[in-house]
Amino acid sequence: MTAPRRIQMTRQRPWRNKHPDAVIVARPSKWGNPFRVGSHYETHRDADMTRTPERAVRDYRVWLTAHHPTVDAALVLEHLPELAGRDLACWCPLDSPCHADVLLDLANAAPVHDYDPVHGGCRRCGALPFDGVPCEPPEPMTTTPQEGVR
């Protein structure tokens, strides 16, 4: 099986015939990048800048991976498992940065620990911060009767 990749949608070629299972992540979809290339934004140094493709993708990654994501970003993250292992399709040229690359990275990354701020351990696997172990929830325990125990 090949690794998931980004597919460029086009009106000229029948891209869908070659990639029938690809998920469309273009702007109208729930995974679309709200940071438009060419739009204006403000920085602390410059009053007004035009957003480049690199900046739009960087802003999208920061938006999704912020410590406290917005409601919209949380919705994208909630649906991220739907993209795992799937090719992603967008209109961006393949030689240009694209938010689909961010989605590919996040959807296919190893599970991230979900640390409980009160108890300190991961809610899924119990690991403590800085243990250096991947987040792998334990197998469900099965109970079997033990002989001689009453």
pLDDT digits (tens, 9 = 90+) for 62-78: 988 876 778 788 888 88
pLDDT given at position 29: 94
| C-alpha distances out from residue 73 to 60, 80, 111, Å | 9, 11, 18
Partners of 6 in the β-ladder: 88
Instruction: Please report the pLDDT score of residue 12 as a whole number.
Output: 81
Which residues of the chain fall below pLDDT 70?
Answer: 1, 41-48, 67, 110, 112-114, 117, 129-135, 137-150
Strand, helix or coil at 26? coil
pLDDT for the residue numbered 33? 94
Query: How confident is the model at residue 86, as a pLDDT?
Result: 95
Residue listed under structure tokens 């990654």: 61
> Residue 145's CB: how many other CB atoms inside 10 A?
5
Q: Which long-range contacts (CB under 8 A, 24 or more apart) does 65-72 make?
A: 65/106, 72/34
- Written as one letter, the residue type at 107 is A
Buried-state track 58-76, b at ≥16 Cβ within 10 A, e below 16: bbbbebbeeeeeeeebeeb
Paired with 88 in beta bridges are 6, 23
> For position 94, what pLDDT does the model report?
95
CA distance 95 to 5: 13
Q: What are the two backbone dihedrals, phi and then psi, of residue 101, each rounded to the nearest 5 degrees?
A: -65, -40
